[in-house]
Amino acid sequence: MSEGAWDFWIDRGGTFTDVVARRPDGTLATAKLLSDNPERYPDAALQAIRDFLGLGPADPIPAARVNRVKMGTTVATNALLERKGDPTVLVITRGLGDQLRIAYQNRPDLFVREIVLPEMLYSQVVEADERVRADGTVETPLDEAKLRAELQAAYDSGIRAAAVVFIHGYRHTAHEARAGEIARAIGFTQVSVSHLVSPLMKMVSRGDTTVVDAYLSPILRRYIDRVAGAFEGDAAGKLMFMQSSGGLTDARMFQGKDAILSGPAGGVVGCVRTSEIAGFDKIIGFDMGGTSTDVCHYAGEFERVFLTQVAGVRMRAPMMNIHTVAAGGGSILQFDGARMRVGPESAGANPGPAAYGRGGPLALTDANVMTGKLRPEFFPAIFGPSADQPLDVAATRAKFETLAAESGKSPEELADGFLKIAVENMANAIKKISVQQGHDVTEYCLTVFGGAGAQHACQIADTLGIETCLIHPMASLLSAYGMGLADIRANREQAVEALLDETSHRQAAADLDRLGASAVAEVERQGLAPDAIRTVRTVMLKVQGTDTALGVPFATVAEMQAGFAAAHRARFGFAPGGKPLVIEAVTAEAIGAAADISEATLALASRDEAEYETAL
């Protein structure tokens, strides 16, 4: 750590930007700013850094005064949800131009007669004359001249991002690599090639992941450049971003495909690390923010998914297994004359709930104000450290009284009813990642965080039968605090598709050695010593003839067979039988222990049960 330099851990959320700052003497300071507040600042994260350093709104940030900025951001997530990424051209094998749109033809809503296909992220399609068979035989050589002409036309139309996805390109890479070279030579500033982005089987998910990377990476790059541009001096190596997998990486290596759960992943890390320090190893994480609520399960290791769907887009990239529901402090309260509803629409940061005094609609925050759970005298200024604007209780009451006149209930009854609906929605979300997966939720600690989490913790615990809640002193900023507790991680993966036997085991070992060395080298480049890095090697196994792979630690053939059988029983409730197993892919993850925070042991709150019953 540089002498006299600050560290900043930031979660740039949809409603609030949370900041934990570590002063040069090691003490911590915090701030919570509205993410969207154009009247006061163009960017909340940069404004917080300037506030802590005593700088003006437009002053450059001296790089020498900052050790590292570790950030999670929703920039990529919002761009995906709102379809505001960069115009992208999809370069794909001729005859397969509609492959990503056709996809798997699955129907999640069986009885819906009008099928609305998700909007594609790419703007144009270039079908390249090329084809390589599964065994590597070149059926049609790449027509470079024709591809160059068609890519030039796309470039001339204003497109600067290209996604290259050829059939069997994950294994036979020469044509993809050459197409990428042609695109870069023409001038495309973002070229994502599938065998580098997602070197795995299944063309649809591999293709979608590559398109997402091309579509979002320029947005991320502009935001990173904007943050770096605010520094005076060399900011290289000072900016790190949280990946969806729960590991930090240098800003220069941050990719669009790894940014979808950037902010929530920091919350999972903070939740788990602080709970472990408090002595709990079975945890349900409950993160309630302004726009949504994220829940996660932990019982000894981070739970990740490698194939997921976000906003109608399939992706194959390691992500924290987080379940999200549209219930946050900003969730809008609605009553149509017969039914009360909470969300999914949100008041956001601007104008925010009615209590913000900016003409916003009634939201869940207002229900907590109306029932006395949010006390305005204890509520901090909500428009930044220099503002002086507490909650507007009068605005909240006026809107509830209007709604009460329509419903025939008192304002307090209405508010309490809305709160019960929200609690039930959030409890059901927890059941999806616990009870429905075979876990006894009553054995867990409910670790509560997010700005609105503590307001609902006990009601949710009572609903689920959980007896222990943990609310960390940094609970309302735990996603930001988690940035400081996170490790630096690099992940490498490769498709194998071979029957599990001694021969494929030796080949997998060689592949893992090579992948592990590459991942370790990436972490070392970010300033960690080799003895501070460990490698986790995982093999994705599946029963021959199926397409659902489960990850087991790399070991002997017999140990991996036993590990797969146990994982199969846990997931599906029955043994896989004696069928042959197939190695679908191998993964090596290098983990560098970058966190250097220690926490003091504090006394836990306690109460006299008899005294409590008397008080009731």
The percent of residues above 90 in pLDDT, for the chain, comes to 36
Of 541, 547, 544, nearest in space to 561 by CA: 541
Residue 595 CA from chain centroid, whole number: 20
* Ranges 50-64, 105-119, 420-434, 518-532: which has the least confidence: 105-119
pLDDT at 510 over 90: yes
Question: Amino acid identity, residue 110?
Answer: L
pLDDT at 452 over 50: yes
The mean pLDDT of the chain is 86
pLDDT-derived band of residue 372, with 50, 70 and 90 as boundaries? Answer: confident
Instruction: Annotate 407-455 with three-state secondary structure.
Output: HCCCHHHHHHHHHHHHHHHHHHHHHHHCHHHCCCHHHCEEEEECCCHHH
Burial class (CB in 10 A: 0-12, 13-18, 19+), 545: exposed
N residues, the chain: 616
Question: Amino acid identity, residue 185?
Answer: A
Give the span between the Cα atoms of 315 and 533, in whole angstroms: 28
In this prediction, residue 383 carries a pLDDT of: 44
- For the stretch 169-192, pLDDT in tens is 999 999 999 999 999 999 999 999
pLDDT at 559 over 90: yes
Mean local confidence (pLDDT), 538-543? 93
Q: Is 73 helix (H, G, I), strand (E, B) or coil?
A: strand
* Ranges 211-220, 444-453, 497-506, 551-560: which has the least confidence: 444-453
Cis upstream peptide for 351 (omega within 30°): yes
Nearest 5 degrees, angle CA 189-CA 194-CA 195?
Answer: 115
pLDDT at 539 over 70: yes
Q: Is 284 helix (H, G, I), strand (E, B) or coil?
A: strand
Of 356, 338, 449, 336, nearest in space to 346 by CA: 356
Give the span between the Cα atoms of 344 and 171, in whole angstroms: 42
pLDDT at 535 over 90: yes
pLDDT at 201 over 80: yes
H or E stretch at 107:
none
Mean local confidence (pLDDT), 318-346? 80
Phi first, then psi, for residue 322 (nearest 5°) are -120, 130
pLDDT at 405 over 50: yes
Give the span between the Cα atoms of 276 and 327, in whole angstroms: 27
pLDDT-derived band of residue 386, with 50, 70 and 90 as boundaries? Answer: very low
In this prediction, residue 506 carries a pLDDT of: 94
Mean local confidence (pLDDT), 311-332? 80
pLDDT-derived band of residue 389, with 50, 70 and 90 as boundaries? Answer: low
Mean local confidence (pLDDT), 125-139? 94
Of 389, 403, 432, 261, nearest in space to 332 by CA: 403
- Strands (E) located in 151-303: 161-165, 190-193, 231-232, 239-242, 248-250, 283-288, 293-298
pLDDT at 382 over 60: no
- For the stretch 252-298, pLDDT in tens is 888 888 888 888 888 899 999 889 888 898 999 998 877 778 888 99
Question: What are 358's two structure tokens?
Answer: 């900016």
DSSP, res 17 = E
Other beta carbons within 10 Å of 315:
26
- For the stretch 578-589, pLDDT in tens is 889 999 999 999
In this prediction, residue 602 carries a pLDDT of: 56
In this prediction, residue 323 carries a pLDDT of: 81
pLDDT at 2 over 70: no
Cis upstream peptide for 344 (omega within 30°): yes
Cβ contacts of 564-573, under 8 Å, gap ≥ 24: 568/543, 570/438
In this prediction, residue 616 carries a pLDDT of: 40
pLDDT at 47 over 90: yes
Q: Virtual CA dihedral for 589, 593, 597, 598, nearest 10 degrees?
A: 100
In this prediction, residue 3 carries a pLDDT of: 54
Q: Is 33 helix (H, G, I), strand (E, B) or coil?
A: strand
In this prediction, residue 209 carries a pLDDT of: 92
pLDDT-derived band of residue 603, with 50, 70 and 90 as boundaries? Answer: low
Higher pLDDT, 390 or 511: 511
| Sequence-separated (6 or more) residues with CB below 8 Å from residue 532 | 592, 593
Place of tokens 């330099």: 5
